[in-house]
Amino acid sequence: MTTRNVNVPQRIYLHAPGDSVYQGNGGLVVMRGLYLLLRDLGMPAAFVDHKDRLRPEMLQWLDLPFTPEIRPWSEAIKGRLVSSWINVALNDLQKRYGKFLTEWAFAHLYYWDQGEILRNRYAEARQLVLASQEWVVVANPDLVPYYQQAGVSQTVGLPLWIDDMFNNRQTQIPGSIGHQRDTDTLAWEALTQRHGADRLLFCHGAYRNVAVLMGHSECYLWWNNPKDALQPILRGEEFGLSLYEALASGAAVVARANDTTLLRLSDIIPLPYTLDEALQALDELRNDPLAREAQVERSTEYIRTHYRLNQNRRDLVEEWLCR
């Protein structure tokens, strides 16, 4: 990454579209982590919505240690705006500024892509990003080949990080199985039938509550099921920060195999293709404490190396946003 003159900004604005702040949204969790880091670095930050719909109570589920500041959009586009949701805002911005002025409105855009601009239906947003950015900061460096195929020639990897609250293994409940239901509830129903509802922990709700429940989980099943329409477009996308939160929490995780989990975790955890195989893998872990402990040790080291906030990430964020 090349830097321009370094100067600490008066305020950095984090884009949080009002229709995307629903409980459990992984993109907003990412912005939460950035918000806390910026405050720790002494860089004032605020949330903004391109339709000015945000209210503090809409962000309560993030369990921030203080009431987050929310500022108007008209102020944000004149400052330093960090967004992962240009695709969501594009139509509204073109109506407000005109199609040819939208690029001007993002003269100070700092784009941190979670994979959105790879999708074919967001080609127009991708062109805006390419026109306004010297390079694109990407959350998943494993997807760089896909960005290159989409026309993004220069990328900088800024991997996500997991909050330290997901590190509470001492509260595990023996025999418990954590799970976070996806839109397809088949896995939850299969777990209930096989083990009974009293052994299952539904890891959902406010962010701190999710961390507590994952910390209670001796084993965990991650079985996210992306829509068929997305699979040929985003073959390498993870579809779920919760997988890495569960690994960080000390649970013995069984996860659905996809391109990214196979690339990253094939030597760490079981990666079955079918739900029957996943249930069998869970049974084997539950019945073998030594294998379970060995897997947790591998997972903990993997998270420590790849998904904890370290000095390199701190330096990269500061360099990026003080350009």
Q: Left (φ > 0), alpha (ψ -120 to 50) or beta: where does 256 sit?
A: beta
Q: What is the mean pLDDT of residues 279-292?
A: 97
Looking at every residue in the chain, the average pLDDT score rounds to 87
pLDDT of residue 2: 46
pLDDT band at 227 (very low <50, low <70, confident <90, very high): low
Q: Look at the domain 12-161+309-321 and name its fold.
A: Rossmann fold (3.40.50)
pLDDT of residue 8: 61
SS3 content of the chain, % helix, strand, coil (to 5): 45, 15, 40
Q: What angle do CA 315, 50, 210 make, to 5 degrees?
A: 60
Q: For the segment 131-155, what is each residue's pLDDT rounded down to a tens digit? A: 778 888 998 887 888 888 888 888 9
The share of the chain scoring above pLDDT 70, in percent, equals 89
Question: Could you state, in order of their start, the residue ranges of all structural domains in the chain?
Answer: 12-161+309-321, 169-306
Q: Which amino acid is at 216?
A: H
Q: Is 204 a residue whose pLDDT tops 50?
A: yes
How would you label 31-41 residue by residue, b for 16+ Cβ within 10 Å and e otherwise? bbbbbbbbbeb
Distance CA 131, CA 34 (A): 25
Q: Left (φ > 0), alpha (ψ -120 to 50) or beta: where does 77 sit?
A: alpha
C-beta of residue 195 within 8 angstroms of C-beta of residue 220:
no
Q: What is the mean pLDDT of residues 190-217?
A: 94
Q: What angle do CA 256, 265, 148 make, to 5 degrees?
A: 95
Specify the CATH number for 169-306; select among 3.40.50.2000, 3.40.50.300, 3.40.630.30, 3.30.2130.10: 3.40.50.2000
Q: For the segment 232-272, what is each residue's pLDDT rounded down to a tens digit? A: 445 545 557 899 999 999 999 999 988 778 888 999 999 99
